[in-house]
Structure formats: structure tokens, C-alpha cells
Amino acid sequence: MILRYSRPEMVAIWSPETKFKIWYEIEAHACEAMANLGVIPRENADAVWKAKDVDFDVARIDEIEAVTKHDVIAFLTHLAEHVGSEEARFVHQGMTSSDVLDTCLNVQLVRAADILLDGMDKLLAALKKRALEHKDTVRVGRSHGIHAEPTTMGLTFARFYAEMDRNKQRLQNARAEVATGAISGAVGTFANIDPRVEEHVCEQLGLSPEPISTQVIPRDRHAMFFATLGVIASSIENVAVEIRHMQRTEVLEGAEFFSMGQKGSSAMPHKKNPVLTENLTGLARLVRMAVIPAMENVALWHERDISHSSVERGIGPDATVTLDFALNRLAGVIDKMLVFPQNMLDNMNKFPGLVMSQRVLLALTQAGVSREDAYSMVQRNALKVWEDRVDFRELLLADADVVAALGEQAINEKFDMDYHTKHVDTIFARVFGA
């Protein structure tokens, strides 16, 4: 994790203190369930809860691990220092380390998902607000980066809203899929622990019992989780790239907010650079770095190896912390983003009337002209607009073939801007509801 791109709430989920607290809760709830089943004495299970308010000493656990070379054993040894060796002798009974590690990881991922979902709600709210604000703000649509036909800035925001709303649903599904726990013992057969212990622990931690584990929870669940984070990151980049293009000097249809005292360049005082959205493009790459390793973690030897472990220690915090930061940064960018409607019109009119070419083409075909001839008639005039920046409508009115097919009044009617925005309300209703 890089502190520059981190927010405290998400970072706290991955702290050693939080991890050991979850480990403790898993062990304590397991003892409680075993006592309920009569497997261990009630007084021993109750004794474990004496540590419920303990702040586990990370340095002490590290000191023990330096000798044991085993993190879970080091933790259990430290727990016994608080509970008492005799009282703690039934802790971890019938369990294996992965029961603790995997169940803990999934608790952390669920908590991380909840924070990410909150960030997505903030972003969706910002996108919806700006979409409604600019529903009728006309700008030119571009394909291949070239002027195509008119659209609106509101539709651009609405498109990103719909994409992020799909991502929210994906994340909700990924959260549900990864919200499982396993307290099934070595190789997952429950040979030394009752399945009801697993059910109790999972219920207490807000998880569902893993239907079948080996010695680990199946990693296809985690692969889908991190793949979903990668898709969300790609959508963040999609929005960021659009804003970066809009802020280019020769376009300047929109821009990041530039605060008082902000400096754009150490060399050139005139610069206003899209640094936040450039940063978001880079952060998206960092999140996507987790996807392939998560997928490679799916294939483990037999009932388990630990090739996945070191990977997840890195990608768990890195991907969630980075995506959390990116979602909140993008929400702020959208909320404060500057939009320049006049520049949008000026850009569209750099080639006067040219964006109406398809409407004229269709009118000619409807008037009885073959598509090939109609295309040729429109293109020969359109190319003059490209070359000489003359008015497309005036060229058409001076073209005897076009006038003969359509008439002057019909040609003029084809330059009504409202034609291109007449279904904006329909699209908004589809995206945001009636």
C-alpha cells in the first residue's frame, strides 16, 4: 500500500491489529460452539472470552513467530499468555491454520467490499447529479476521435452512470460469493471437528459455510472478486480518459477543478493539467495487476498448497485500498468538474453543419435517390467543408442535384439540432427510471 493513495478506513481493515482480532473471534466462537456441543468444557470456552478486549501485541507475536516460523501458532501462543495455558488448551481444537486464515481473509474482503460499495454510491450520486444538470447541453459525439453526430453532455454522464451501476451489481455479487467461511479441519473432511462449529462461527461473522472446502476455501471465489475490482478500475479509467480528452487545450469542453494556489507546472506557469484523472488512469493499472495473480491462485496442488498465500497478502490490501481511493477521488472530480457548453458548440461548428450529413443522406434515399448516389452527393459537399471550413448547408443549397431531389425547404429542415436530442428523455428514463 502507498499511503499517498490510501484512506484510513480501508487501511485499517488490513492492519495486523484487525487481522489478529478477527483470528481471535474465529477461535473464540469455535470454542463456544464446541462447548455448546459438549466437546470441550464450558469453563474453558468462557475463559477464552477473557481476551475479548485485549489489544494483541503485534511485536510480541512477531517475536514468537521468529522462533516458531508459523504465524498462527505464534498468535495462539500469545493468546494463551492472556487466557492461561490450561484454560486455552482447547483453543484451535480440530482446526487447521487455513480455517483461521481463509475465514479471516473473507471477513476482510467483505468489509472491504462494503467500503467500496459506499464509494460507488458516492460516485453514482455525482454522475447522476451532473447528468441531470447537463441533460440538454449539446456537444458533438466523436467516433475514432472524429466529429460524428450531436449528443449531450448529460448522455455522457448517464452512460458512465449506467456502467458504474452495473459495476455496483457486480461487486454486490462478488461480495456475496466471497462471503464464506471454513472451519473444517485438515483437508476439509470435518474428521476432528463438527460441521456445526463451522455453522456457528460463520453465523457470528456474517458468512455462509463453504459447501465443500479442501484445506482452503476454493480460490475461484477470490478470482471473481479481484476480477470484479479490475472491471471497476477499467470503468474508472474509461471516465478518466474522457475527461482528459475534454481538457485538452484544443478541445476544452470540460476540465478538472483547479483550486486556488494550485500549480500546473514547475516550468510553465500557464499550465492546467488533468493530474487527477491521469492519476486515476495509473491507479486503474495497479488494481488490474491483481487480477491475473488471483486467477492463477485457483489452481493449487491436491487439497492445498500455499502458493496463493503470499499473493493474497499483497493483492488483498493493495487492490482494495487503491480502488477505494480511486472511487472517492473520481467522485470528487465529477462533483467539481467544470463544463464549458459554449466551447462544445464552438467545436461542433468548426465544420459548420457537417454533423448533419447522415440526416441529409437518409433524406435523399427516402426521396428516391439510390444510396450510392446519395452518399456521393453528400460526401462531395462534406469534403469541401473539411478542406475549406465552409458551411455545409450552403454547399447543399448550391448543389443542383441535392436541391432537385429535396428542395430548399427540406434541406433547411435537416439542420434542426432538436432532431438529435429528441429521445434524450427516453434514454434518461431507461437509465435513472421514470
Exactly one of 15, 70, 265, 370 is catalytic; name it: 265
How far apart are alpha carbons 237 and 243 in whole angstroms? Answer: 10
pLDDT digits (tens, 9 = 90+) for 54-93: 999 999 999 999 999 999 999 999 999 999 999 999 999 9
Residue range 282-302: mean pLDDT, rounded: 98
Instruction: For 123-157, write each residue's pLDDT tens digit.
Output: 999 999 999 999 999 999 999 999 999 999 999 99
On the question of a common fold for 96-345 and 354-414, the answer reads no
In total, the chain counts a number of residues equal to: 434
Q: What pLDDT sits at residue 258?
A: 86
| Average pLDDT of the segment spanning 305-318 | 96
- Taking the C-alpha atoms of residue 144 and residue 1, their distance in angstroms, rounded to an integer, is 37
pLDDT at res. 308: 96
What is the torsional sign of CA 11, 176, 104, 296? Answer: negative
Region for 145 from its dihedrals, namely left if φ exceeds 0, alpha if ψ lies in -120 to 50, beta otherwise: left
Dihedral sign, Cα of residue 11, residue 12, residue 13, residue 19: positive
pLDDT 10s digits, 15-65: 999 999 999 999 999 999 999 999 999 999 999 999 999 999 999 999 999
What average pLDDT score do residues 196-225 get?
98
> What is the rounded CA–CA span in Å between residue 427 and residue 424?
5
The mean pLDDT value for 95-106 works out to 98
The rounded distance, in Å, linking the Cα atoms of 207 and 5 is 30
Establish whether 98 is a catalytic residue: no
DSSP state at residue 146? E
Topology of domain 96-345, per CATH?
Fumarase C; Chain A, domain 2 (1.20.200)
DSSP 8-state symbol, 354: G
What pLDDT shows up at residue 192?
97
Does the 3-11+17-83 domain belong in CATH 1.10.275.10?
A: yes
Inform me whether the pLDDT recorded for 190 exceeds 90: yes
Q: What pLDDT does 369 receive?
A: 96
> Is 92 annotated in the active site?
no
Catalytic residue among 85, 143, 144, 259: 144
Contact 284, 234 (CB under 8 A): yes
User: Per-residue pLDDT for 1 more than 80?
Assistant: no
Sequence-distant (6+) residues with CB within 8 A of 253 are 139, 153, 246, 339, 340, 343, 344, 347
Task: Give yes or no for residue 239 having a pLDDT over 80.
Answer: yes
Q: Which CATH number fits domain 354-414: 1.10.357.10, 1.10.40.30, 1.10.3720.10, 1.10.760.10?
A: 1.10.40.30
**Which pLDDT score is estimated for 291?**
98
How is the chain split into domains, by residue range? 3-11+17-83, 96-345, 354-414
pTM greater than 0.85 (yes/no): yes
Is 115 a residue whose pLDDT tops 80?
yes
